[in-house]
Amino acid sequence: MNKGRIKPSYRLQAGDLVRVPPIRLEEPKKVSPNEKILNNISESVLYEDKRFLILNKPRGLAVHGGSGLSFGLIEALRVLRPEAPFLELAHRLDRETSGCLLIAKKRSALRTVHELLRNNQIDKRYLALLKGEWTGGERNIEAPLRKNTLKSGERIVRVANDGKSALSRFRPLLVRAEASLVEVKLETGRTHQIRVHAAFAGHPIAGDEKYGDVQFNTAMKQYGLRRLFLHARSLQFEMPDDGQRINVQAPLSDELKTVLRNLDMRF
């Protein structure tokens, strides 16, 4: 400070000359997803044009690196397509959620999608297997959500009056005494929204280790479920500049189909 060292307690004053010494940064580690992951991503393409790429994201793969992960789907996709000048996530899915994931191949396309999302002009629908018998037909769950961080550092979302507004539309498809298959349409895009709203409604999602029911999850393992039963089923939107209509559906994995068959749900 002013060509001399100062104590941390010093308070800056107008006219002070501050010098920050150079800091040596580690070289970023190279992303090295294995060949199996690259093949899975390559085979999961549902739709592609000059502006977008839509994948059927595999469960268990984070959409991006961080929080102890050296890479995610977007980093692996860039390795897979080194010639692509621009690849960015247009939205996100939880690590354990599978299904439609939209990637922008142009910065202009990314801006357009973000604008559509802000105006709720992208129709996003999910399939979820819920605990118990769903009653009352189609139902809106509108409950504000707030992010919290536990002492352990784990992030969790809870219903709270001072949270951000959130609306999910639940429509039952197949109902049994033990479990119900529903379609969920998101009207807002909050973190963990479907998972928290389902638990708030008294019907947590099968296989949800954060917001779910332990006994129900254990029971579902007998039917072959080894993951969160939440799948981004479809994406539908219209480009405002040329009217191009994009409507893409992601098929359920064989694992989830087997669970439904074992529950005697013909879907």
Could you write out the three-class secondary structure of 158-198?
EECCCCECCEEEEEEEEECCCEEEEEEEECCCCCCHHHHHH
The count of C-alpha atoms lying within 13 angstroms of the C-alpha of 151, restricted to the half-sphere facing its C-beta, is 0
Would residue 94 show up in a list of annotated catalytic residues for this protein?
A: yes
Catalytic pick from 94, 123, 162, 242? 94
Distance CA 259, CA 253 (A): 10
The CA distance from 170 to 138, in Å, is 6
49: its two tokens: 């044009």
CB atoms inside a 10 Å sphere around CB 257: 14
What is the rounded CA–CA span in Å between residue 163 and residue 177?
33
Kindly provide the b/e burial profile for residues 123-132, where b requires at least 16 CB atoms within 10 angstroms of the residue's own CB. Answer: ebbbbbbbbb
Is residue 146 within 8 A of residue 160, CB to CB? The reply is yes
Number of Cβ atoms within 10 Å of the Cβ of 233: 21
Positions marked active-site: 94
